[in-house]
C-alpha cells in the first residue's frame, strides 16, 4: 500500500481502516473466516470509511461519527470543539476484537505527533492494546 493511500485510510474517528480485517481481506483471504464469524459481512473487501463516505457495510446507514465530521467540515474528530464526544466513548463490549477503545488515544496522538508518526507507531500502539499487561502508573507493558 502506498503511503498516500495509507493516509486516506485513517478514518475521522482515528481508526486505521488499512489495518482492519475487512480491508485486508482482499490480500489475506484467510480473514474471510474471521469476518464471517464475528460480523454480518457481505463478502466484499471494505475500501475504507472515507472511500465509502461512512456507509459501512457493518452498520445500517451512515456512520454517525463520519456524518458528524463531514457536516462540520473536519478531517478528524480532534478538530471539533466537542472532542471527545460520546461517540468516541470507550466500551468494554467487543474490546478484545475491535480497536474502538483506541479512538481517543489515536486521535490525540495524530493531533500532537502527526499522521505520519501515528502510522509508523500504530503497530506498537495496537500491540500494547491487545497484548499489553497493565502496569499501574506505566500503562500497558508488552514485556
Backbone angles phi, psi at 140, to 5 degrees: -70, 130
What is the value of pTM for the model shown?
0.84
Q: Containing domain of residue 82, as a range?
A: 3-141
Q: How many CB atoms lie within 10 A of CB 131?
A: 10
Structural contact between residues 35 and 143, judged by C-beta atoms closer than 8 angstroms: no
Report pLDDT digits (tens) over 52-74. Answer: 999 988 888 899 999 999 999 99
- The band of 5, judged by pLDDT with boundaries at 50, 70 and 90, is low
Report pLDDT digits (tens) over 93-128. Answer: 888 888 889 999 999 999 999 999 999 999 999 999
Q: How many CB atoms lie within 10 A of CB 77?
A: 27
pLDDT of residue 99: 86
Which percentage of the chain shows pLDDT scores above 70?
Answer: 96
Average pLDDT value over all residues in the chain: 89
How far is residue 108's CA from residue 130's CA, in Å, rounded to a whole number?
Answer: 19
Q: Give the total number of structural domains in the chain.
A: 1
Longest dimension (CA), the chain: 43
Q: Where are the alpha helices (DSSP H) in the chain?
A: 3-8, 21-24, 31-38, 64-72, 103-113, 115-131
How many CA atoms, within 13 angstroms, populate the side-chain half-sphere of residue 51? Answer: 15
Q: What is the mean pLDDT of residues 21-33?
A: 88
Distance, CA of 67 to chain centre: 16
Amino acid at each position: 500500500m502506498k503511503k498516500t493511500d495509507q493516509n486516506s485510510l485513517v478514518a475521522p474517528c482515528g481508526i486505521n481502516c488499512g489495518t482492519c480485517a475487512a480491508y485486508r481481506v482482499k490480500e489475506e483471504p484467510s480473514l474471510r473466516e474471521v469476518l464471517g464469524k464475528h460480523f454480518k459481512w457481505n463478502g466484499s473487501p471494505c475500501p475504507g470509511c472515507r472511500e465509502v463516505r461512512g456507509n459501512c457495510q457493518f452498520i445500517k446507514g451512515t456512520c454517525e461519527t463520519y456524518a458528524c465530521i463531514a457536516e462540520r467540515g473536519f478531517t478528524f474528530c480532534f478538530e471539533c470543539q466537542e472532542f471527545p464526544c460520546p461517540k468516541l466513548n470507550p466500551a468494554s463490549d467487543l474490546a478484545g476484537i475491535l480497536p474502538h477503545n483506541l479512538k481517543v488515544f489515536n486521535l490525540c496522538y495524530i493531533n500532537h505527533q502527526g499522521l505520519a508518526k501515528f502510522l509508523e507507531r500504530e503497530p506498537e500502539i495496537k500491540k500494547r492494546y491487545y497484548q499489553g499487561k497493565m502496569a499501574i502508573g506505566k500503562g500497558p507493558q508488552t514485556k
